[in-house]
Amino acid sequence: MMNRIIFILALGIFSITNVSGQTDNELMKMGDAAMANGQYSNAVHFYSFILFKIQQGEEAIYYPYEITTAYKEPEKNEDGTVSPPENPTAKQIELIHKLSDAYRMADDYKNAEIWYAAALKNPKEEFPYAQYFYAVSLMYNSKFEEAMTQFEQFQQSNNNPDNQYYQLATAKIASCQFAMNPLNTKEGVVISDPGEVLNSGSTSFGLQFASDDYMLFSSARVQDIPDSMVTEERNPLELYLLDIYILNLNEDGTFGSAEKFPFAINTNEYHEASAVISSDGNSIFFTKMDPNNRNETKIYASRKFNNTWLAPFPLDNNVNMDGFRSMNPSLTDDGKTLYYSTNRPGGEGGMDIWMTTLGPNGETTEPVNLGNQINTFDDEMTPFYHDVTQTLYFASGGHIGFGGLDIFATRWNEETEWWSEAYNVGSPVNSSRDDSYYIVDDQLRIGYVSSDREACSECDSIYNLSIHCNQIYQITRPELKFYISGYVYDVLTNQVIPGAKIEFKDANYKWEHFELIADENGYYQHELVPNLELFMRATQKDYFADKAVVFTLGETESKNYTQDFYLEKIPKGEITIEGIEYDFDSAKLRPESEKILDNLIEFLELNSNLTIEIRSHTDMRGNDDYNLRLSEKRAQSVVDYLVDHGIPRERLQPKGYGETMPAEIPGPDGAIVTLTPAYIETVSAEDKREEYHQRNRRTAFFVLEQN
């Protein structure tokens, strides 16, 4: 996919040459050069000039002192397309293939479909991938089933799984299947045209949030200035030169007027577009491109001083690398991270999304490529970071989608500290054409996308093109709805527990805490709110509690959550805390023991309604009184540690039992045995006797009360 989104208009629109005095070979060379230079509209013009001149049988007409050529503008069909010659000559066949490629690269897929169909009827060895590109054109025109057929036929005839286009066809077939799946169309999402304030002139795109008073966007349009006020000759290219515009907002949030960004940001020689402004309103970042050299595309910045914007300056080499393009800046709310698109070395291929950290004076850190979860062999462009949900939206031509560039999203994962796998946001935000510059408000209700899904009424002219230029579309999404439901079970019997209490607590205290009771079937349900980090606890008398954490924070789609709880019966006896050890002949806890007690602290915080007895036991070796005193000290050490880490002392009672309560374990036959001195003496193996002594030297807790 060619890199065409930020500046949709063909660059060659500024450099069409008078072709009336050129020979066919010269015109062919000019067309080929235009293709090589990315001036695809020019190429269409040159190729079609030769083709329709030949079709009329008029090679050249000679006049004294000059050579000129008769040429008649080809007639267009009702849908704006131009039909190829029906019985082409060998020379015309070559032009049909070249013109097919030129139409496709100029984003005129209506004409491309027609001319590739003619190319397939007249194959030529120099153009082995005409059928693949015919299928691509069908896909862009939303003819997914036909496109799949052509991709499959291309693979059968190519029959080389290692071939790049064979592999691309496989991905395109998957995209066609994705596009035809009704589950990938989001219900309730409405796309609308916000009107001429935004969508006038030859193109408009890249609407960005700025403040409560205005937004920014990019457009190529003639300013509505009365002739009496024009003091100098108008630039004839003004209709096609991109500038940054301010969209003023009314008090009720509706659109007001649009005007060029003031001060020294816009120029008469360069494209300025794709602008973003910092949340404090004092810094602006934008893309600047030389119309005659698309590789001269850089990100510039300007700062406001005394309410005046200073002269823009290009960002350093971490963002703008000579000989490569950088564009589409996007800022986080704190102004510290800049996301942008560039084809600099070190990426996955084509344009990639990169990030860098901004310093106070515009200096940047070494850039980081966002990796193959986001970037592909094709183009990834127009990043937009949504701070509330920690979601990065971007346009991609390499992931599975509807055709062309689609909008994708990826969430920041706090655990892995990296981005999750990207997903397609679906139709109708995405179409079979190129969709880019997606933004959405904090509530995820109102958004905007730039798309060339509709034909442009002001671009179609002498180039015989059915042009689709970018326009801005408003997206209205239904209110996000979240529901949670589940059952409460006994963890051992798997039977439901009726009447259990489920508590809901917002970790950020933005939502009032509440609780509800499970019904006679152990079932509960409730509606949640967006942007919530929810702690849940299920409790019931005679059971330990269970917990869960549920996030609606960062969710961008409505969702039904299922959360079951499994409660464990409180045992009648004591519960050994495995792994608690002390220094020899001491009550001092070893570091390993403290780590285990940290788990007990977490348990006691969850079961905050329990009062427990901390018990310490010794083996029978040593003096009885000494063992009793030592066990009491050790029990107190555990209690002190728990209190020092936030457990209320009134919930804890230390008790030392010395050697008076030997442990009970299953014996060799499965029956419970008590590890008394007499029983241990009957064990012949020394290591087993030592194991039993260790079991008697234990720390445990016993539930005294459940409030």
Distance CA 527, CA 597 (A): 37
Signed CA dihedral, 457, 270, 41, 112: sign only: negative
- 334 CB burial (10 A radius; 0-12, 13-18, 19+): exposed
Q: Tell me yes or no: is domain 482-567 CATH 2.60.40.1120.
A: yes
Check whether 349 has a pLDDT greater than 60: yes
Whole-Å CA distances, 653 to 499, 702, 703: 30, 10, 10
Which residues are 575's β-sheet partners?
Answer: 701
CATH class of the domain whose range is 575-706? alpha beta
Please give the structure tokens belonging to residue 444. Answer: 């995820």
Angle between helices 90-105 and 109-121 (to 10 degrees): 150
Please give the structure tokens belonging to residue 2. Answer: 């060619």
Burial 336-361 (b: 16+ CB within 10 A, else e): eebbbbbbbeebbebbbbbbbebeee
CATH number of 11-127: 1.25.40
At a CB cut-off of 8 Å and minimum separation 6, what does 587 contact?
630, 633, 634, 636, 637
- 462 CB burial (10 A radius; 0-12, 13-18, 19+): exposed
pLDDT of amino acid 483? 96
Q: How many residues does the chain have?
A: 707
- Type of residue at 616: S
- On whether the CB atoms of residues 186 and 166 are closer than 8 A, the answer is no
- Type of residue at 343: N
> What is the topology classification, in CATH, of domain 190-476?
Neuraminidase (2.120.10)
pLDDT, one tens digit per residue, over 463-482 is 456 666 789 999 999 888 99
Distance CA 435, CA 472 (A): 10
Distance CA 294, CA 297 (A): 6
Q: Where along the chain do its domains lie?
A: 11-127, 190-476, 482-567, 575-706
pLDDT, one tens digit per residue, over 214-238 is 999 999 887 654 454 445 555 555 5
Check whether 13 has a pLDDT greater than 50: no
Estimate to the nearest angstrom the gap between the alpha carbon of 454 and the chain centroid. Answer: 25
Distance CA 173, CA 510 (A): 46
pLDDT, one tens digit per residue, over 554-606 is 788 889 999 999 999 999 999 989 888 776 678 888 888 888 999 999 999 99
Distance CA 108, CA 469 (A): 10
Distance CA 480, CA 459 (A): 39
Whether the bond between 654 and the residue before it is cis, its omega within 30 degrees of 0, is no
Please give the structure tokens belonging to residue 128. Answer: 């082995």
pLDDT, one tens digit per residue, over 121-160 is 999 999 999 999 999 999 999 999 999 999 999 999 999 9
Give DSSP secondary structure letters for 365-398.
PPPEE--TTT--SS-EEEEEEETTTTEEEEEESS
Rg (CA), the chain: 36
Check whether 698 has a pLDDT greater than 90: no
Distance CA 538, CA 509 (A): 19
pLDDT of amino acid 238? 58
E strand map for 453-500 = 471-476, 482-490
Question: What's the average model confidence in pLDDT over 665-681?
Answer: 86
- On whether the CB atoms of residues 329 and 299 are closer than 8 A, the answer is yes
Distance CA 635, CA 631 (A): 6
pLDDT, one tens digit per residue, over 398-440 is 999 998 899 999 999 888 999 999 999 999 999 999 999 999 9
- 242 CB burial (10 A radius; 0-12, 13-18, 19+): buried
Please give the structure tokens belonging to residue 509. Answer: 């205290």
